[in-house]
Every structure is written in C-alpha cells, then in structure tokens.
Amino acid sequence: MASTFHGLEIGKRSLYAQQAALSTTGHNVANANTTGYTRQRAEMQATNPMPQPGMQNSTSPAQLGTGVEVTKIVRLREDYLDVQLRGENKNLGYWEAKSDTLSKVEELLNEPTDNGLANVMDEFWKGWQELAKDPDSAAARSVLRQRGIAVTETFQHLSNSLTQIQNDLKHVIETKRNEVNSLATQISGLNDQIGRLVPNNYEPNDLYDQRDVLIDKLSKIVPVNVVSGKNGTVDVFVGNEAIVAGNQAKTLEIGIDSTTGLVDPTKIQIAGNTVMLESGELLGRIESYGVVGGGSKSTIPNVKSKLDELARVFVESVNDAHQKGMNLDNINGTSSERLDFFIGDSAQNLGVNPKIMQSLNLIAAAMEEAPGQSSSGNGKNAQAIADLKFEGLPFTGSTTTADDFYRNIIGQLGIDTQESRRMQDNSEVIVQQVENRRLSVSGVSLDEEMTNMIRFQQAYNAAARYVTVMDQCLDKVINGMGRAGL
Amino acid sequence: MTTRVTQGMLNQNMLFNLHRNYGEMEKTQEQASSGKKISKASDDPVTAVRGMFYRSSLNEIEQYKRNTSDGISWMTATDEALDEVTSVLHRAKELTVQGLNGTNGESDRQAIVAEIKQLKEHLGEISNTQMSGRYLFAGTDTKNPPYRADSQVAGSPMEFRNQNQGALELQVGQTNNVQINVLGVNVFNNDGAGGLFKVFDDLVADLQNPNGGSSEHLSKLEGQLDNLLKERSELGARMNRMELSMSRVDGLELSTIKMLSNEEDVDISRVIINLKTQENIQRAALSVGASIIQPSLVDFLR
C-alpha cells in the first residue's frame, strides 16, 4: 500500500527530472557553436518501485512505480574518433609546415621567368661572346664586368634571403615550442581540476571538452598519444616520454648544434630524455630549418649547399679559363700576372676581382698566339670562356653543365613543393572527414534539441497537471471525507 | 544506415567546399590573365625545367643572330675593299702596258710613274680600311694600321708592315665557328718579300730608268691579280656559308619559340571554358548552401 503523499512525490520527482532535462537541452542550445563542445543528454531512470521484498514490508500484489530521476548527464563522444583525428592532424601540421617553407623558397628563386639566376647567367655568357667579337673595345669589357657583378649579386641575394628565411624559421620553432609547453601546462591544470571532481562522483563534462580542445591543438604540433589515467585524468605522451603526467607538466626543449647551427635531433628532449618526433608541425619547421644528419630533408640547408656548389664550380671553371688567357696588360708587356676573374668560393662571398673592378684591361680575352705573345684583337680566350656554358663542369657526383645543374635544383624543388602540397591537400580532406564524423556524433543539432524541448516541456506540463489532480484528490480526502450531512 | 547530420556539419562542409572552389578559380584566373600554364615550378616541374631550357636556347640563338649579322657586315666591307684593289690592279696593268710601249717620251713616262705612285698610296689606304675602329686586314692586331711607317725609325717610309696571321672567328652555332677576316698578308704580301707593294715599287723604279722596260712586270701583276681572285672567291664562299647559317639560325629561333609556346602557353579557349564551369559550380554551391543552412525547426514552432 502506498503512502498518502506517494502521488505528490511522483509528481515532484517528474518535475525535477523534466526540468533537469530542459536545462540540459538549454545548455546544449546555448553551446551549439562552442568549439569542441560535446552535446550532453540527461539519462533518466525509473526510481526503485515499492515495495521491495522484506520481512516487515506489505504484501500487496504488485510493485508500484515511484517516479523518475536523472541518474547521469552523459557526454556523447566517441573516443576512437579523437584518436583518428589526432593521428591525421599531425600529418596535416607537418605537410603544412614543409609546404609553407618550400613555397617561400620557390618564390625566392622565381623560375622560370626572365628575372631569375638562369637569365643572369645567360647574359654573363653572352657578355663573353660579345667580348670575343670585339676584344679591344672598352665598351664590351665594361658590359662584361657589369654582368659579372650581376651574377655575383644575384648569388649573394639568394643566399642572404635563404638565411633570412632560416632565421624566421628559428623564431617560429621557438614560438611553437613555447606553445607546446604552455598547452601541456594548461592540460595538466585541467587534469588537476578533473582529478578533484571525479572521485566525488561528478562528471565534469565541460572540463573534459576543454581538455580535448587543448589536446587537439597539441596534436597538430607534435604527435601525441593519450592514455587514460586514474580519476578521469589523462597522460599525454610525445614519443615515449610523457609531457603531461596527471597534474604534472614537463617541458620540451630543443637544442641547437653549435658547429652547424642546425637543430640536433638528439637534443629534442622532454625532461632530459630524447624524443623522436615522427610528424607534426614542429618537426616540419625543424626539418625546413635544418636538422643535423637530415640530408635532403633539411630543406633550406640543402638548397643553400647546392647553390654554394654551383657558385664554387662555376667560379673555379671561369677562373681556370681566365688564367689561361692574356689580358691587355700582358699583351703590351706592362705586366705578366695572370688573374682570376672572380673571388670567393660560395654563393655568399662571391665578387668580381677588385683589380678588374679597377681596370678593364685586366680582363683576359686573348689566347696566346706565340709563347707569351698575343694581339689585342685576339678574342679566343673570351670565346673559350663563353663556350664553358656548354661544357660539363666537375660537380660532386656528376659532370654536367652549369645550366643543367641549376635546372636540376629547380626541378627537384618543384617536385618537392608539388608533393608536399598534394599531401597537405590530402590530409586536409581526411581531417575534414573525421571532424565531420565527430560532429555527427557530438555536435548539437538544433532541430533535435527543439523536439527534445517540446517533449520535455509537454512532460513537465503533464507532471504539473498530475500534481494538480493529486492535490484535488487529497483535498477531497482531507476536507471532504468524514464530514457527513453538512 | 542513417547518419546524424547537424547544422555545424552543414556549415563546415559548405565552407570547406567553397574554399576549394575559390582555390581552383584562382588558379584558372591566373592562367587566363598570364597566358601561361604555370606560374611557378611546382605547378608542373617537368614543364618548368623544359621551359627554362628553351629560354636558355633562345638566348643563345639571339647571340648567334647578332654574330652572323656582324660577320656579314665585316665580310661585305672586306669584299668592297678587295673590289677596289682589283680596280687598282687593272688600272696599273693598263699603265704598265702603256709604259712599256717604246713610243713614250720622257714626260709621258713621268706622268705614268706619278700615277703609279698615287695608285700605290691608294692601295696603302685600302689596306688600312677600318670598321668600327678595327683594321680589316690586320689579322688579330686590329688596333695597328697594317700600312704604316716604322715607329722606331724616324722618317721611315710607309710600308705594309703587318705580319699577323691570326684568324678572327665568330661563333654561329654551338660548334660552328666561321672565320670572317681575310689576312692582309695573304693579299698584300703573299710572297713574304713585299708582295703587291714591291711589284709597284719595282715597276716605278723600272719606268724611271730610261733603259728599263722589262715585260716581267705584266706577268707579276697578273700573278697578283690571280692571288687576289683566289682570296676573293674564298671570301665569297665564306659569306655564303654565313648567310646559310643566318637562315638556319632564323629557322631555329622560330622552332624554339614554337616549342616554348607549346610547353608554357595555355589554350585560351580551354581556360575560359574552365573558368565559366567553375563559376557555375560556385554559384550553384552558394545558392544551395544558402538555402540549406538557414531554416531549422525553430522557425516553424509557434
């Protein structure tokens, strides 16, 4: 047999439960556009019916229901999708970083156009051809010297600009490292708060959401591995090292090798232990900047060293041929010194020989006609130098013309850029798809929330009416029963 | 299987696809406005490298064209000079025949001698022909006049003193060098002992001698004329070769430009069609997106 206020109690429980559900719906709607928000649902469960079997309990023929209560507010999230997203996010970060630097380098080299190094070098060879036709013309010599200066200036400009990009990258790497450390600190702070709430049987859904947003951000920069800890906390691993362990955050350090100025991969450490970054934006930036032992993956050092090689072999070949010729001072007996045309041995420090800058007569256009003798109209050495354009020069690992070597640099760069852009596009699409699936599971659908709202509102109205009815019943019992004949 | 679709998903998808469309449109627009298939090497590395190669070839061809036209000017000037020398020699032959005629008196002989001396001076001037400040007949010693006085002996007479045998060559192809000059020594001093000028000197000396009058001068003049013709025909052959090279280089330039254009240039009609298609897709996406993302159940509940 039920108690007097059994009905009212059922009504009250229903009102509470529907109100809680309405509040949850309201919370969902309010947060429909919050980044990383996971929709919540009030789980309702019927409360224990009466009577339960026992010695002193009544022997009524059936169990009577006692109403409803909200047992849990569930967070609708599929963990596997998080793992998938973080796995793809690191690739996206890596390819974005690499393709960014490669595009910058490509724009710098600016080929194939009429303004790049290829054209400047062509003009230089043409200058020697003109000199071969008219070796004693001061005008032809002056033009040639100017074109030589143009070549050295172009090499220097390229080298300096590459160094500039490298320096910018260094700042970016430091910024990203700071970001990683800051994110780790925030995650550990959230872990701390969560760890305090969960043992009290609370599910801090909103804190979970915030933590997941931070971990997503982190997963783009470095590859992360999330392992659940106790009391709802998580440990975040980068490689084999934990950067967040419960409410403790460690710091990521990146060390530079002092001799080469590049990043030393053994000095990428968390709390003193080396970690191997396999992907992620940080790795992309580090590789673009240059890593010790990176070979062709170190984007900028690779391009710089190839340009240096081109400059060195080009200058050596021209100088060798120039030394074999006779300049105007040699011909008229003023001096017997044979000079180099260029000074310097890398793209950074190239220059036209200062003695030639002082005097145009020192450009050796003539070849010897008899031992130690020649005439001012002899342009055969200039022709020989102009022919160097077609000659295979001794580069390390191959004998090829200077033009071919440079075209190879451009071609390789083009292919690398194209590939990284393609990978970036692919990763974007995959990330987008996984995000979509995540939204499908966890995102707020306004239509759904509206229908829920109607449901809960109607249930609330019904509960309220039920309370009114119970009230009337009780009124009948209390004020109407036993007062006969009034 | 019904997948749950939320407003957020619709929004995100629409934006993502719009962005991709804009990216494609930007690329097509770049192609249309620049007329080139690629704007940087990564768009198509193989095309880029080939394009660089053809550009470099065009630079070389431009230089060869300049060289051939410079060569032809030089050789034409040389030919004209040699033509002058031929006329001088013909006149000298006439005078010789006249001078050897026994009926000449003293004053006639003096007149002939005077004219022959002038002819010799004229030959000297021809051998000093210049083009843009360089002597045509001086081999590689182009700054020194071949017919000059000895600079170290005061008051010495003007003689053909050039002995340079250097050839001036121009490059008109990658392995193709053509000699453009005629060696002065071959024309004016072909026997190494004074050549043409010595013949004139001997003639003058003989005519001034009242007892002279040997007929070997005529044969010597004939010999010099033969030599001259030989040099001229060689020059003519080289000029022909130069002209052939010029037309070959012109043809090469045309075909290289055509290949470069094939590689790099874009087919305008195709690009415009692409652009129109993409514009249509963009409009469709925008209008569909606009109608999908707006209504939700909220609009319909009273």
The string of pLDDT tens digits covering residues A51-65 is 777 888 777 788 888
The proportion of chain A whose per-residue pLDDT surpasses 70, expressed as a percent, equals 100
Distance separating alpha carbons of residues A131 and A145, to the nearest angstrom:
11
Q: Mean pLDDT over residues A127-138, rounded?
A: 89
Distance separating alpha carbons of residues A35 and A256, to the nearest angstrom:
37
| Residue written as token pair 């931070």 | A214
Point out the residue among B55, B138, B301 whose CB comes nearest to the CB of A450: B301
Point out the residue among A378, A379, A418 whose CB comes nearest to the CB of B45: A418
Peptide bond into A51 cis (omega under 30): yes
pLDDT in tens, A184-196: 999 999 999 999 9
Asked if A147 contacts A123 with a C-beta cutoff of 8 angstroms, the reply is yes
Q: Is the pLDDT of residue B77 over 90?
A: yes
Q: Is the pLDDT of residue B41 over 90?
A: no
Q: How many CA atoms within 13 Å lie on the side-chain side of B106?
A: 1
Q: What angle do CA A135, A141, A144 make, to 5 degrees?
A: 120
| pLDDT at site B6 | 86
CA dihedral B176, B180, B184, B185 (to 10 degrees): 20
Asked if B77 contacts B129 with a C-beta cutoff of 8 angstroms, the reply is yes
Point out the residue among B40, B134, B138 whose CB comes nearest to the CB of A107: B40
| pLDDT at site B100 | 79
- Chain A residue with minimum CA distance to B135: A377
| pLDDT at site A467 | 95
Query: Could you report the predicted ipTM of this complex, rounded to two decimals?
Result: 0.82
Helix (H) or strand (E) holding A248: strand A248-249
Point out the residue among B4, B42, B49 whose CB comes nearest to the CB of A418: B42
Interface test with A, best of B3, B11, B18, B52 (most A CBs within 10 A): B52
Q: Mean pLDDT over residues A10-20, rounded?
A: 95
Q: Would you list the domain boundaries of chain A? A: 6-76+445-479, 79-443
| pLDDT at site B212 | 66
Q: How many CA atoms within 13 Å lie on the side-chain side of A69?
A: 8
pLDDT-derived band of residue B1, with 50, 70 and 90 as boundaries?
A: very low
**Among A246, A240, A239, A231, CA closest to A184:** A246
Three-state secondary-structure class, residue B1: coil
pLDDT-derived band of residue B213, with 50, 70 and 90 as boundaries?
A: low
**Phi, psi (rounded to 5 degrees) for A189:** -60, -45
- Chain B residue with minimum CA distance to A107: B40
Distance separating alpha carbons of residues A342 and A352, to the nearest angstrom:
4
Q: Which residues in chain B are closer than 8 Å to A435, comparing Cβ atoms?
A: 12
Average pLDDT in chain A: 91
CB contact under 8 A, A421 and B168: no
For residue B118, give Cα distances in angstroms to B48, B82, B123, B145: 66, 18, 9, 19
Helix (H) or strand (E) holding A395: strand A393-395
Q: Which residues in chain B are closer than 8 Å to A141, comparing Cβ atoms?
A: none
| pLDDT at site A1 | 60
Q: Is the pLDDT of residue A21 over 90?
A: yes
Q: Mean pLDDT over residues B235-240, rounded?
A: 94
CB pairs under 8 A between A and B: 164
* Helices assigned H by DSSP within B128-215: 184-188, 195-208
For chain A positions 356-415, those within 8 Å of chain B (CB to CB) are 366, 369, 374-380, 383, 386-387, 389-390, 403, 407-408, 410-415
Q: Radius of gyration of chain A from Cα atoms?
A: 40
Closest chain B C-alpha to A91 CA, distance in angstroms: 19
Q: List, in order, residues 6 or more apart from B220 with CB less than 8 Å away.
A: B199, B202
Better pLDDT: B296 or B222? B222
Window from B67-81, B138-152, B201-215, B274-288 with minimum mean pLDDT: B201-215
**Among A237, A185, A231, CA closest to A211:** A185
pLDDT in tens, B128-174: 899 888 888 888 888 888 888 887 777 777 888 888 888 888 888 88
The proportion of chain A whose per-residue pLDDT surpasses 90, expressed as a percent, equals 64
Q: Is the pLDDT of residue A329 over 80?
A: yes
**Both tokens of residue A207?**
């804190």
Q: Is the pLDDT of residue A68 over 90?
A: yes
DSSP letter for each residue of A321-379: HHHHSB-HHHHTTS------SEE-SSTTS-EE-HHHHH-GGGS--B--SBTTB--TT--
- Chain A residue with minimum CA distance to B6: A445
Asked if B65 contacts B251 with a C-beta cutoff of 8 angstroms, the reply is no
Cα–chain-centroid distance for residue A70? 44
Q: Mean pLDDT over residues A275-282, rounded?
A: 91
- Chain A residue with minimum CA distance to B260: A112
For residue B78, give Cα distances in angstroms to B72, B75, B125, B135, B231: 10, 5, 13, 10, 11
CB contact under 8 A, A417 and B164: no
CB contact under 8 A, A122 and B56: yes
DSSP letter for each residue of A156-171: HHHHHHHHHHHHHHHH
Q: pTM for this structure?
A: 0.85
CB contact under 8 A, B52 and A111: yes
DSSP letter for each residue of A52-102: PP-SSS---SSPBP--EEEEEEEE---HHHHHHHHHHHHHHHHHHHHHHHH
| pLDDT at site A336 | 80
Distance separating alpha carbons of residues A4 and B147, to the nearest angstrom:
145
